């Protein structure tokens, strides 16, 4: 162990920095964004902060191995103001834990995405993945235990690390431990698909924390329901605040609806690279046409295919909109290690071609689809959106629903799935949809397109205000304070 022990620690699969090998063979650091990066910065930088994360690529592993005790800052690498310990986890172990358990099992359970008749299958192959998930979580718990000063506060992030809180508590009972779930939570009847020991271990892992955070009251209640149904735990409620008591220990459940960082977004969205892409997009769209925008990872839960089907239904049913609207759909690649995701991208492209074939004319393309990531182009689309389409089948929060109203130039109408966590905060000003109901989504798009300008501007203002109510910095500090003062 080198360096100062930390009094505030964060742990997450993805860290604030990643590496690639440059043309000259040297490692180049690339610093990332996101709520947690902003949040932890707000907690103050300096040597007694610590971020523990996993090496995600060969270049990351190389950087981690070169650094003393995996401490990137001690190796003189640029990690900003947040000392980072990057864990060099065996690639096979990492893949089984990350792809096998986190993304193919827990993610599917919480988003209700199994077809039941054929998936999931919990067999010997699954057991090897589960053993790796234990190893992966243990590596984090051990690193946190090493890095933490006496009585320090450690916040552990998300479904990749559901076992780490209990493991860390066993190693370091003096710490204040938090866990935060960025996903939805499954109802007990679905959650109990998991093998009995796995279902219990995930709940008991999180209950190892003093405080377990969720994005909405709905997911916190689902977690509590699972604790009651699977563990027989006791759930109490005090003024709307839930607590779970299991084996004599009580874990408080907190709700912190992560918002968007308006300052960053507005500044970033008006830089020249975005301006250029905005001009190019408007050129392709053509004058006087309304713009429906969606921006998503190509994630099975984001419901891009049904979104396209709804747009097609709109054009079929309401011929007056043909030639007068363009749907800008950005679906950038995600989790392409999993075959379901590659198939889904193909399905998105197939339906897009069908729409172009059915409605496209010499001077009107009904759809602009891009499946490569381009952040400035996404921001350009945000700015020109008349309608934002955010229709996930189930979503922890969905920050795009918050970002578009904040970045839009003339105000946008938001068509929002009631299964998104964001619906709890934005539902009142949005046009709500049942994400499985393509007919309803088509009508919601029409309603959003036909919303009077002044109403749209007013609603968009209120959406933007709600979207920034809990920016990442405050979101993180609130959790930290609650954790320390409980």
- In the bound complex, what is the minimum distance in angstroms from residue 259's beta carbon to a second copy? 25
Question: Is 394 one of the binding residues for a second copy (CB under 8 A)?
Answer: yes
Stretch that binds a second copy, among 84-92, 245-253, 370-378, 436-444 (CB under 8 A): 436-444
Residue 309 or 400 having the CB closest to a second copy: 309
- In the bound complex, what is the minimum distance in angstroms from residue 188's beta carbon to a second copy? 8
Is the bond preceding 400 in cis, omega lying within 30 degrees of 0?
Answer: no
Positions 204 through 263 that interact with a second copy (CB under 8 A) = 222
- In the bound complex, what is the minimum distance in angstroms from residue 337's beta carbon to a second copy? 17
DSSP letter at 4? P
Question: 19: which 2 tokens?
Answer: 């590496």
Stretch that binds a second copy, among 14-22, 67-75, 191-199, 242-250 (CB under 8 A): 191-199
Sorted by sequence, the CB contacts under 8 Å of residue 278 that are 6+ apart come out as 380, 383, 384
- In the bound complex, what is the minimum distance in angstroms from residue 313's beta carbon to a second copy? 7
Question: 137: which 2 tokens?
Answer: 């979580």
Among 174, 340, 481, 486, binds a second copy (CB under 8 A): 340
Question: Is 346 one of the binding residues for a second copy (CB under 8 A)?
Answer: no
Stretch that binds a second copy, among 78-86, 118-126, 279-287, 365-373 (CB under 8 A): 118-126
Among 193, 243, 368, 477, binds a second copy (CB under 8 A): 193
Q: How many positions of this chain bind a second copy (CB under 8 A)? A: 45
- In the bound complex, what is the minimum distance in angstroms from residue 398's beta carbon to a second copy? 16
- In the bound complex, what is the minimum distance in angstroms from residue 235's beta carbon to a second copy? 16
Question: 396: which 2 tokens?
Answer: 């922890």
Residue 207 or 222 having the CB closest to a second copy: 222
- In the bound complex, what is the minimum distance in angstroms from residue 450's beta carbon to a second copy? 20
Question: 109: which 2 tokens?
Answer: 């359970």
DSSP string, 211-272: EEEESSHHHHHHHHHHIIIII--EEEEETTEEEEEETTEEEEEEE------HHHHHHHTTSH
Sorted by sequence, the CB contacts under 8 Å of residue 93 that are 6+ apart come out as 132, 135, 136
User: Angle at the Cα of 327 (from 296 to 441), degrees rounded to 5?
Assistant: 75
Among 24, 26, 76, 123, binds a second copy (CB under 8 A): 123
Q: Are 426 and 376 in contact (CB under 8 A)?
A: no
Residue 308 or 463 having the CB closest to a second copy: 308
Helix H or strand E segment including 178: strand 176-180
Among 30, 31, 65, 127, binds a second copy (CB under 8 A): 127
Residues in the chain: 486
Tokens 């066993």: give the residue.
170
Q: Are 83 and 73 in contact (CB under 8 A)?
A: yes
Residue 31 or 316 having the CB closest to a second copy: 316
What residues pair up with 8 in beta bridges, in sequence order? Answer: 49, 153
- In the bound complex, what is the minimum distance in angstroms from residue 71's beta carbon to a second copy? 40
Q: Are 107 and 114 in contact (CB under 8 A)?
A: no
Question: Is 427 one of the binding residues for a second copy (CB under 8 A)?
Answer: no
Positions 21 through 80 that interact with a second copy (CB under 8 A) = none
Residue 25 or 232 having the CB closest to a second copy: 232
Positions 275 through 314 that interact with a second copy (CB under 8 A) = 300-301, 303, 305-306, 309, 313
DSSP string, 320-375: GGTTTEEEEEEEE---TTSHHHHHHHHHHHHHHHHHHHHH-BTTB-SEEEE-S--H
Positions 98 through 117 that interact with a second copy (CB under 8 A) = 111-117
Binding marks (x or -) toward a second copy, 355..374, rule CB under 8 A?
--------------------
Tell me if residue 113 falls in helix, strand or coil: coil
Contact residues toward a second copy (CB under 8 A) are 111-124, 126-127, 186-190, 192-196, 222, 300-301, 303, 305-306, 309, 313, 340, 344, 347, 393-394, 434, 436-440
């Amino acid at each position: 162990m080198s360096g100062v022990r930390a009094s505030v620690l964060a742990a997450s699969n993805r860290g604030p920095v990643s590496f690639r090998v440059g043309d000259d063979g040297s490692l180049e650091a690339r610093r990332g964004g996101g709520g947690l990066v902003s949040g932890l910065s707000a907690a103050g930088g300096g040597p007694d902060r610590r971020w523990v994360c996993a090496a995600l690529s060969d270049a990351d592993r190389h950087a981690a191995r070169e650094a003393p005790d995996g401490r990137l800052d001690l190796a003189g690498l640029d990690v900003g103001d947040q000392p980072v310990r990057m864990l060099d986890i065996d690639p096979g172990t990492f893949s089984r834990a990350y792809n096998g358990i986190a993304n193919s099992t827990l993610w599917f359970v919480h988003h209700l995405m199994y077809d039941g008749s054929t998936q999931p299958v919990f067999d010997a192959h699954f057991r090897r993945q589960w053993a790796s998930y234990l190893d992966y979580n243990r590596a984090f718990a051990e690193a946190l235990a090493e890095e933490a000063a006496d009585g320090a506060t450690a916040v552990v992030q998300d479904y990749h690390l559901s076992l780490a809180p209990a493991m860390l508590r066993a190693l370091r009972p003096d710490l204040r431990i938090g866990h935060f779930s960025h996903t939805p939570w499954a109802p007990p009847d679905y959650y109990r698909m998991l093998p009995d020991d796995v279902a219990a271990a995930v709940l008991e892992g999180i209950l190892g924390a003093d405080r377990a955070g969720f994005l909405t009251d709905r997911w916190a209640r689902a977690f509590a329901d699972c604790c009651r149904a699977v563990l027989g735990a006791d759930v109490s409620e005090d003024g709307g605040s839930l607590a779970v008591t299991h084996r004599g220990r009580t874990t408080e459940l907190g709700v912190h609806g992560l918002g968007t960082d308006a300052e960053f977004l507005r500044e970033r969205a008006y830089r020249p690279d975005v301006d250029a892409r905005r001009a190019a997009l408007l050129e392709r769209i053509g004058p006087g046409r309304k713009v429906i925008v969606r921006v998503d990872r190509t994630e099975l839960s984001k419901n891009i295919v049904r979104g396209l089907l709804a747009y097609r239904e709109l054009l079929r049913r309401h011929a007056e909109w043909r030639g007068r609207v363009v749907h800008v759909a950005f679906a950038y690649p995600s989790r392409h290690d999993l075959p379901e995701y590659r198939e889904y991208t193909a399905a998105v492209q197939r339906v897009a071609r069908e729409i172009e074939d059915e409605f496209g004319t010499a001077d009107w393309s009904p759809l602009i689809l891009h499946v490569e990531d381009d952040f400035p182009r996404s921001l350009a689309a945000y700015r020109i959106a008349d309608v934002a389409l955010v229709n996930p089948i189930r979503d922890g929060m969905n920050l795009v629903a918050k970002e578009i109203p904040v970045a839009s130039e003339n105000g946008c109408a938001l068509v929002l799935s009631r299964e998104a966590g964001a619906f709890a905060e934005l539902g009142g000003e949005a046009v709500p949809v049942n994400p499985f109901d393509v007919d309803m989504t088509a009508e919601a798009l029409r309603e959003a397109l036909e919303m009077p300008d002044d109403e749209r501007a007013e609603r968009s203002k209120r959406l933007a205000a709600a979207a920034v109510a809990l920016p990442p910095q405050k979101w993180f500090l609130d959790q930290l304070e609650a954790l320390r003062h409980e």
